[in-house]
Amino acid sequence: MKVIAFNGSPNKEGNTYHGIKIVLDELEKEGIETEIIHVGNKSIRGCIACRKCSQNKSGKCIIATDPVNEWIEKIKEADGIIIGSPVHYSAIAGTMKSFLDRAFRVAEANDNLLRYKVGTSVVAVRRSGGIPTFNQLNNYINHSEMFMPTSNYWNVINGTKPGDVLLDEEGVQIMRVLGKNMAWLMKLIESSEKSLPKPKMEEKIFTNFIR
């Protein structure tokens, strides 16, 4: 099994990285392969709402000038996904949101390739805005029929300078428990796949409120 973690911070080894790494350390103890991809320092264009991913069914975004399609391929191969972000104005960092909008849209448009993978969110924050950002990240996971492991508190860890979060004892425990629970859930799903068939995926119904 493998987990891919996406670090949405502009800083490669800032506090978002350290929060993610605590989770990954627990996964690795359980024999699960891990990889961190640094998203936050790339130039990622936002979704242009062209809907070509729905029309082409290629599993790719039509924008090919950045690494998003490479990352989508890694998502396809992974059993678990971690999406991590710092807090920018009580919200997801801009580059990370551009990536998530496009990657999750492609996934949905191609037989919901994230369905029944395990996904969780990690947030690093200096002071406040952690919960709104956590909720925003979870919107992507909830929308994709993914399974979400939890911890003993919201997955937010606090610090200012890179590495400060390692002094947040409660935050470190939250990430550690999250890693243990994520590993257990992934193994539980793997052990039941042969004995318990997945529910048939329903075709998505789209409605609006204009009569």
**Per-residue pLDDT reduced to its tens digit, 74-114:** 999 999 999 999 999 999 999 999 999 999 999 999 999 99
Residues 6+ apart with CB under 8 A from 110: 53, 57, 58, 59
Percent over 90 (pLDDT), the chain: 93
Euclidean distance between CA atoms 11 and 40, whole angstroms: 7
Residue with tokens 């936050």: 40
- Pick from 77, 80, 84, 69: which is nearest to 19 by CA? 84
Neighbours of 105 (CB within 10 A): 18
The domain limits of the chain are 2-193
Euclidean distance between CA atoms 82 and 36, whole angstroms: 9
Average pLDDT value for the chain: 96
Neighbours of 79 (CB within 10 A): 17
pLDDT for the residue numbered 209: 83
CATH class of 2-193: alpha beta
pLDDT for the residue numbered 139: 98
Euclidean distance between CA atoms 109 and 112, whole angstroms: 6
**Per-residue pLDDT reduced to its tens digit, 105-157:** 999 999 999 999 999 999 999 999 999 999 999 999 999 999 999 999 999 99
Residues 6+ apart with CB under 8 A from 114: 75, 81, 104, 107, 108, 144, 145, 146
Percent over 70 (pLDDT), the chain: 100
Euclidean distance between CA atoms 68 and 86, whole angstroms: 19
